[in-house]
Structure formats: C-alpha cells, structure tokens
Amino acid sequence: MRDGKAGYRAVFGRLAHVTFPVIGVVGGGQLARMMAPAATALGFELRVLAEGDDVSAVSAVSSSPVGDYKDLQTLLDFAQGLDVMTFDHEHVPTAHLRALQDAGVNVQPGPDALVNAQDKLVMRAAIDRLELPNPAWASVQDVEALVSFGEQTGWPVVLKMPRGGYDGKGVRVISSPEEAAGSAEWFEAMSPLLVEAKVEFTRELSALVARTPDGEARAWPVVHTIQVDGVCDEVIAPALDIPVEVAAAAEDAALRIASELGVTGVLAVELFETPGSGAGFLINELAMRPHNTGHWTQDGSVTSQFEQHLRAVLNLPLGATDALAPVAVMKNFLGGDNQDLFSAYPLALASEPAAKVHCYGKSVRPGRKIGHVNLVGSSTAEVESVRQRATMVANIIRDGRLTAEEPPSTFEENA
Ligand SMILES: Nc1ncnc2c1ncn2[C@@H]1O[C@H](COP(=O)(O)OP(=O)(O)OP(=O)(O)O)[C@@H](O)[C@H]1O
Ligand SMILES: [Mg+2]
C-alpha cells in the first residue's frame, strides 16, 4: 500500500507529489469524531473503524468502515495503508494489539502502555511500582476477601471491575459486609476484582499530558472535574486555588507515568485531591486517548487535545499547551427530554454568543453523553458566572427550552 517514502504515502492521487500520513482510529465515538477537524486542518487523512454505521464519528469522517474491534482479522484489514493506528477507547483486546504489532502495524499507544488503561489492577500495581500515591487497594477473588479488606481499611470501600468499565459503570460503593455479600454476581462475571478504600476527597482533578514515541512531552494545566453519578459533568480549567506545589506534583506524576509506562498520545490521569495528606492527591485512574476532562482545550488552549493526540502518535513536535484565557469551563450535556437538539439551538446560541457548542451527532438516549459546551472567562473571579452561563446553554439544548432549574448543588460546594 505504500509508495516509496517509508511511513508516508501519497494520500490524494491528484496531489501525487504531496505526501501526508494516514491515521486510523479504532472506535467511532465522539473522541474519534473530534479528531477530524484537527486532521483536516493539518492535511492528514483520518479513517475510523466504526462499531456501526450510526456511531458519532461516521458522519464526520468519510472513511469509516464498520467492523468488530474484537476481531483480529478486521483490525488487520483496517490497518492496511495506515501510518499509525490509534484509539477512541481502551477496549481492544491486549493480545490483538500485540498481534498487530507483530504484523508490523504502528500501534500508538502500544499494548505495554495501554494495558495500564485497560486493566485497573495492572494500573494500581504500576502506580505502586512508580511509588506514586495510590489509595489503599487490593485484588480480591471473592466476597470473603472483599469483606476482609473492608474490615481492615474501614467501610465504605469501592469495588471495581478491572476491565471494561466506563462512566461509572463497573464501579460500586460497598458500605458493609451485608452489602458485600450482594456483590457475589460481580465476582461471577469477573474475578479478581479491584477494591479500593473510599477516598474522602475535596475535589476530583485531572492532569492531562501528551507524549511522542521519541519522548517529547507536554502538559496542560491541572483541571477540576465534577462528576455526577460517576459521569464527568463539568470541568473548570485550571483547577482554582490549587496549591502550586500540588499542581506541580500532579503534573510531574502524569509526565512520569507517561514516560515510565511508554505512553504515546494523550494521557489523562484522574486524581482525587486530598489536602493535607501525603502529596495532596491520590491517583484514581488512567486514560490513554483524548479525555472528557480535556475537551476544554478545544476552545481554551493553544493546542487542543485532539490535535495534540494526532501530532503525538505521528511523532511530530507537540503544540503549545498554554491556556488562551484565565479560566475555561466545559459543561457536558447528556440525553434528556429533548429529542430534537437542533430545535433548541436558536435559544441556546442566543443565550450566550461566546459559548462554543460541540454536538456529537448521536441519537438522544437518557444519560448518554451527546455534547458539551465550552466557555472561557476573562478573569478567574468570573468563574461562577462562566459556569452558570455554560450550564444554561447546555441545559437549553438538553431540555429543548429554558428551564428555571436550580444550579447543581456543586456550585455552592465548589464556590
Ligand atoms: N476509591 C474511590 N473513592 C472515592 N470515589 C471513587 C473511588 N473510585 C471511584 N470513585 C468515584 O467514581 C467515579 C468513577 O470511577 P472510575 O473513574 O474508576 O470509573 P470509570 O467508570 O472507569 O470512569 P471513567 O468514566 O472516568 O472511565 C470517580 O470519578 C469518582 O467520583
Ligand atoms: Mg474515571
């Protein structure tokens, strides 16, 4: 499939003297979709291996064959003609990633790095090995082992499926030995499971970095992320009033994880802020792809996480990660009452002309991530107003009308 120049090929026949790379993304969710504008701007060809012909990226990426990412032959076929294969999610079986590499496919991030984002037990062991701050944790085979962990560290504890979870699915708080007994069916579905102490955090934070195969790395400012029912709801960039040494240590931890685990592309390190104890934070989990907590970079940073991911997996020099404004807010909207999202645009866009709406082209289902709103502010003192205005735009689109809803309780909590 290649014509001459190693690693690059003539993408467009009519521009035969121009060579640009072809990037293949496994998974056609909103993350793949949002890579498309960056690929277009830089002249790269993006292809997506989609789960179905109606997934988010399909309407934004012209080459989006449908295929099963759990089938090795499908992945090998998709790899034909690619300069690099990367991912929209973590769910490609690790053995397939190794087989792809053995077949000469340039997989970024590679399986040895990615397994730490695929398997939370592998990740906890890696964080211990790097002597970075983990909550108390254990690998548990059965209810009895779960109960003994709870008795030792104190209830409640958090039980997690090590593989396959997302948006809080596969995460369960267990408050007593009686409740632990109720988790027997989880052990039947998967064993061992991960159990962790339930962390008393003041905020959730995210440290986002990108790294190239040659080892160049850059970090964005550490952000504050607000989860509702285990789903990222809102991000405030940067995390305000975070002690400089805590922000610096969190950024260092993310850069160290990236380099020691050989991560390429974007890495998000989800953190719990624990003031006055240890480093001031504990590590929650890792994601090796653009991440919901980095969507603010589309409109709030010199280089968006989507562009940076493409540059990084292609081993190109990384872009500047400076913020464009003193504060940026990202507010997600999930599927709600309004099925006809566009009908709400006149009201939503008029309500806040500075808001940037990102809609994922997905059908509306309750609780499903279908879009987000980014809004920047000209001073950190404005943060509550920026949050309220971004929330208003998101709510109008979700509900199809202006709702006189109370702001979420987190407004007060985080004021
Ligand atoms: N040990 C813990 N202590 C307290 N809260 C926790 C703990 N682990 C998880 N949580 C809460 O549950 C949320 C989801 O957990 P986690 O990030 O592990 O799951 P996930 O489904 O993989 O998430 P994601 O959507 O980020 O992939 C966290 O953001 C946090 O709010
Ligand atoms: Mg998480």
Q: Which of 127, 171, 227 to mutate to test the pocket of ligand 1 (most atoms within 8 A of CB)?
A: 171
Q: Give the position of tokens 């790269």.
A: 44
- The CATH number of whichever domain residue 224 belongs to comes to 3.30.470.20
**Are both 70 and 159 inside the same structural domain?**
no
Q: Does the structure show a pLDDT above 70 at 14?
A: no
For residue 47, what are the domain limits?
22-107
Q: What is the rounded average pLDDT of the residues 384-409? A: 84
Residues 211, 183 within the same domain: no
Q: If you measure from the C-alpha of residue 76 to the centroid of ligand 2, how many angstroms do you get, rounded to a whole number?
A: 30
Q: For residue 319, is it within any domain? A: yes
Mean pLDDT of the chain: 93
Tell me whether residue 383 is in a domain.
Answer: yes
- How many domains does one find in the chain? 3
Task: Point out the domain boundary residue: 150, 180, 197.
Answer: 197
Same-domain check for residues 346 and 382: yes
Residue where a domain stops, chosen among 197, 220, 245: 197
Residue 181 marked ligand-binding: no
Q: What would the pLDDT profile of 118-145 be if each residue is shown by its tens digit? A: 999 999 999 999 999 999 999 999 999 9
Q: What is the pTM of this model?
A: 0.93
Q: How far is the CA of 232 from the centre of ligand 1 (A)?
A: 10
pLDDT for the residue numbered 409: 45
State the burial class of residue 315 (Cβ atoms within 10 Å of its Cβ: 0-12, 13-18, 19+): middle
Q: Are residues 165 and 296 in the same domain?
A: no
Amino acid letter for position 276: G
Percent of the chain with pLDDT over 90: 90
Confidence of residue 19 (pLDDT cuts 50, 70, 90): confident
Same domain, 75 and 208: no
Based on the domain organization, do 185 and 316 belong to the same domain?
no
Residue 415 lies in a domain: no
Last residue of a domain, one of 197, 221, 249: 197
182 & 212 share domain: no
* Ligand 1 shell residues, CB under 6 Å: 135, 158, 160, 165-171, 196, 198-199, 204, 227, 230, 270, 284-285
Q: Are residues 283 and 377 in the same domain?
A: yes
| Alpha carbon 337 to chain centroid, angstroms | 26
Ligand 1, atom 2, lies closest to the CA of 198
Question: What pLDDT, on a 0 to 100 scale, did the predictor assign at position 8?
Answer: 55
- In this structure, the answer to whether residues 316 and 253 fall within a common structural domain is yes
Is 35 domain-assigned?
yes
Q: Are residues 62 and 172 in the same domain?
A: no
Q: Which tens digits make up the pLDDT trace of 232-270?
A: 999 999 999 999 999 999 999 999 999 999 999 999 999
224 and 341: one domain? yes
| Long-range pairs of 360-363 with CB within 8 A, sequence gap ≥ 24 | 360/29, 360/30, 360/33, 360/56, 361/33, 361/56, 361/58, 361/59, 361/60, 362/30, 362/55, 362/56, 363/54
